[in-house]
Structure 1
Amino acid sequence: MRILTCSAIAACIALSAPQLAQAQDTGSSFKRDKNTSVRQRPRPDFEATGQKAGGFTVYPRVTVDLEHNDNIYAVATGKTKDEIWRVKPELAVRSDWSRHALGFFAGGNVIRYADQGVEDAEEYTLSANGRIDIERGTNVTGSVETKRLVEPRSAPTAPSAAAKPTEYAVNTGNITLVKEFNRLRLTGRIENKDFNYKDVPNNRGTGVVDQDFRDRNELTYGGKAEYAVSPDTAVYVTATGNKRDYDTNVPTQDRTSDGYVIGIGANFELSDLMRGDIQAGYMKQSYDVAAFKDIHAFSTNANVEWFISELTTVGVNASRSNQESMAAGSGGYVANSLGASIDHELLRNVMLSAKYNRGKDVYKGVDRDDKRDSFSATATYLVNRRVGLFLTYDYLKQTSSGAAKGSSFKDNKLVASVALQF
């Protein structure tokens, strides 16, 4: 289904990628589709019909953004404001087969600043995904993707001494096997990611800021076993391992490590009121170089939706995970996040959305804590099945403390967008 209901501007590309139709699961004890959220609700009058091409449907789309940003360099003092244009062409292809599935996606993002031309950049994404339906309840899915991106100035890992944004590439491949036996469902997954960063000139004009030490390969593998205690509730155990291999010979920069996350949880759908997935567990990351302190901590991941009415959906989410650090002396940090969102359908083609998130990053091995508060509000107007209008306000505040503290700043963005699809 291809619709113009993505309300967050940054989510437009992700939501317009070809989504594989789910394998046949009629009678499955793991379906959680009793309720439909505001974002999920079908809107036939505003969905793109696409262009038929044999057994496939092609969905062209282009989005144009105009953003006003009052702090493009994410600094505490001496703020620089600018207007930013983004043109994002996309082409999604999805198969129309009754069994199996195949999809392709190509998307670009041309970024131009009105005054600070040094920040101009281009991004692109190419991907392919597929699914093989072996039998009822058993399927294999996989995807490959290549991305060329620029790191936001507000990212915790962005180098403050860089004269221009850091460019990097991410190549990803994954495969997932699902097997369902009545009340038991088993899932196995393996994913490989390769990161490659480009050096950037420093802001003194005397050299470069080395970024090669960030080049790495991340291999993730794991499994999940779910048991349906009822048609509306399933409990599960999950275990995921990882190997992060850095391409550097400098010991003080070599964050090569092994880790795992184990957890127990439940997913549920309670009548017409609520559905969600709540997981708690333990995570550990061990570094090859003794100078980097190992991470071992409680982990969690939770997402709950509350259906106040057919027109209003409220969401709550929380997570605790370990992330890669680029701060000198620190191998990684524990990222804590707690957020809430609300989506309201004012009219069939008019939606209002808002979300808030509170985050805290605790760095291991150095004295540094980062706290972030972010708020976003979006108004979406679907003119017809080909045109959508969006207005989004984003606020981000970061406060960094400790002897090795990073950047502290406030940033306000106002983005107006028009999306055209066919």
Structure 2
Amino acid sequence: MNLSRFALAAAALGSSLSATPVFAQAESTLLEPAIPAGFDRGRNTSVTDRARPDYDPVGIPVGGFNLFPRLDVGVGVTDNVFFNPAEKMTDGFTTIAPRVQLNSDWNRNTLQFRGGANLERYFNETRRNQNAWDLGALGRYELGSSMAVTAEAQLARLYETPFSGAISSDIAVLSNYLRNYLSLRGQYQAGQSRLTLAVDHTGFDFSGITLASGAKLSQEDRDRTIDRIVGQAEYAFSPAMALYGQLSYGQIDYSRNLLNGQPNRDSDAWRLIGGATFDLTSLIRGQLGIGYVWRNFDSPIYRNVSGLSVEGRVEYFPTELATITLQVSRLIEDSSIGANSAFFNNQVSAQVDYEVLTNFILTGLGQYARQDFIDSPVSADIYRLGIQGRYLSSRRVNLRGGITYVKRSSGDIALGSDTNELRGLLTLTIQR
């Protein structure tokens, strides 16, 4: 789950593969991109990003800021609440997600604050209840016309996806952790060139897991801090095309040895990648990069890992009413399963957004991931399909609903039982 923090660094993949709320099973332990993706040049706009003046919230003016309050209330059902293939149990649940964001309304510089929660309550299996929350602040200060500095801080209680590959899928569904994140990013632009340097620090504090027997499973040996530094250079050959090169270094330090007394997976990681960002005519925009990643463990009991690293996100606009998004990535991530030190996480996805009406959007998603464990002959395959509809009733009210199907198979019980889930969710949003 964690070298991806370095593999994702910088020109990362933009939005998550499951960014649409109905598709999100739980939060991933991936870090925020160190340098956000930069392929948006204002020439093309996707269906989901397009401004809809009659339906977009306008916020509440508060001095030099705009306040955007929001409340999501939903009801859903799952046919496999604990992702147990031998004893599948259907259960219903409700979600309540209050959120508020405060954005500055200044001509120069930016200041943002946000906070929210996502509370899930299951009708029968209360061990699956979730109390996720997050707080964040971001400030951007311009130093003249060519330089800018951005600082960001986050604190959140998050829940793992059972398909992450970080721990056995049989218990991952009950895992949650506290994450803190601090970053500082500087950018200098002159003519057609742009240089970016970013540093950040992230801490993870995992809670224990309460098993069905009532016993408590400690996750203290998963607690860690991650520090990284990323540099990126870009050169724009035209308004539509730029090349970039990126070098990142990261250090993972676990707070203690494994529970069995063995050394933990402290390590250093390097990643070198190069590619292009583009926004061509009215049909296509995106980013494609390819490079190499190295992961060197402090303890000799773990084999050092290196290999191909890939990142890509391409949006295709066949018409103004449709956007097709293709994403691909190959990352190294940490594993806490048995003697495995890490695994290559290979993902490819396709998403289609179609504007049936100005206020009605249909979204379909297909995703495939293969997790190849470094010190194991087996691998895990994950398939995800989903469809969602979003209806914008007014500026203040919208409704969305959809279903997703996820399947995971590995052939090795140590990685977790082969399992699947069918989930449906209907959500009402009230906002200003």
State if a TM-score over 0.5 links the two structures.
yes
Say if 1:277 and 1:43 are closer, same or farther in 2 by CA, change over 3 A: same
TM superposition shift of 1:224: 0.5
Q: Which runs of structure 2 are paired with 1:131-210 in the superposition (5 Å)?
A: 131-159=140-168, 162=171, 165-205=174-214, 207-210=215-218
Choose from 22, 34, 45 the match for 1:9: 22
2:228 is aligned with 1:220: yes
Q: Deviations over 1:250-279 (max 9, x none)?
A: 453501100011011001111111111000
**Mapped pair 1:100 → 2:109:** yes
Moved more, 150-159 or 372-381: 150-159
Asked if structure 2 preserves the Cα contact closer than 8 Å seen for 1:46 and 1:386, the reply is yes
Report deviation, 1:12: 13
Q: Which position in structure 2 is the counterpart of 1:317?
A: 327
- Return closer, same or farther for 1:203/1:383 CA change in 2, 3 Å cut-off: same
Q: 2:51 aligns with which of 42, 54, 63?
A: 42
Query: Which residue identity lines up with residue 415 of structure 1 in the other structure?
Result: L
Residues 352 and 379 of structure 1 are in contact (CA less than 8 Å); yes or no, is this contact kept in structure 2? yes
Name the CA distance, whole Å, in 2 between partners of 1:11 and 1:103.
24
Which residue does the alignment assign to 1:241?
249
Answering whether residue 394 of structure 2 is matched by residue 381 of structure 1, we say no
Aligned-partner Cα distance in 2 for 1:316–1:333: 23
CA distance in 2 between counterparts of 1:383 and 1:86 reads 20
Shift of 1:118: 2.1
Report the equivalent of 1:283. 293
Alignment: residue pair count: 402
SS in structure 1 at match of 2:262: helix
The answer as to whether partners of 2:83 and 2:173 remain within 8 angstroms in 1 is no
Name the CA distance, whole Å, in 2 between partners of 1:268 and 1:125.
33
Q: Residues 358 and 159 (structure 1 numbering): CA distance in 2 closer, same or farther, change over 3 Å? A: closer
Per the TM alignment, residue 366 of structure 1 is displaced from its structure 2 partner at its CA by 2.3
Aligned residue number for residue 395 of structure 1: 405
RMSD between aligned residues:
2.1
User: SS of the residue aligned with 1:290?
Assistant: coil
Question: Equivalent residue of 1:34, what SS?
Answer: coil
- 2:349 equivalent among 339, 346, 366: 339
Q: CA deviation at 1:65?
A: 1.5
SS in 1 for 2:86: coil
Following superposition of structure 1 onto structure 2, how do residues 403-418 of structure 1 map, counting pairs within 5 Å? 404-418=414-428
1:358 aligns with 2:371: no
SS at the partner of 1:44? Answer: coil
Pairwise CA distance, 1:356: 0.7
Deviations 1:188-227 (A, max 9, x none): 111111000122233333x321200000001121110001
CA–CA distance in structure 2, aligned partners of residues 180 and 328 of structure 1: 47
Following superposition, the deviation at residue 9 of structure 1 comes to: 3.4
Give the letter for the 1:329 counterpart: A
Structure 2 spans left out of the alignment, 5+ residues? 1-18, 28-37
SS in 2 for 1:9: helix
Look up the SS of the partner of 1:241 in the other structure.
strand
Q: Distance in 1 between matches of 2:405 and 2:247?
A: 36
* 1:228-307 alignment, distance < 5 Å: 228-250=236-258, 252=262, 254-307=264-317
- Cα deviation, 1:64-85, whole Å, max 9, x if unaligned, reads 1211100111122210110011
Asked if the contact 1:367/1:404 (under 8 Å) is kept, the reply is no
SS in 1 for 2:76: strand
Match of 2:84 among 72, 75, 88: 75
More moved, 365-374 vs 161-170: 161-170
Amino acid at match of 1:338: V
Give the secondary structure class of the aligned counterpart of 2:83.
Answer: coil
By how many angstroms is 1:151 displaced?
A: 2.6
Q: Deviations over 1:64-109 (max 9, x none)?
A: 1211100111122210110011100001000001011100001011
Residue identity (%): 27
CA contact (8 A) 1:171 1:195 kept: yes
| Aligned mates of 1:242, 1:345 — CA distance in 2 | 41
The answer (yes or no) to whether the contact 2:277–2:286 under 8 Å persists in 1 is yes
Q: Which residue of 2 aligns with 1:370?
A: 380
Post-superposition offset of 1:155: 4.0
CA contact 1:72–1:153 (8 Å) conserved in 2: no
TM-score by length of 2: 0.89
Greater CA deviation, 395-404 or 33-42? 395-404
Note the C-alpha offset of 1:238: 0.5
Change beyond 3 A, Cα 1:7–1:31: closer
* 2:16 aligned partner: none
Candidates 55, 62, 67, aligned match of 2:64 = 55
**Structure 1 match to 2:219:** 211
- Over 3 Å counting, the alpha-carbon distance change for 1:372 and 1:330 in structure 2 is same
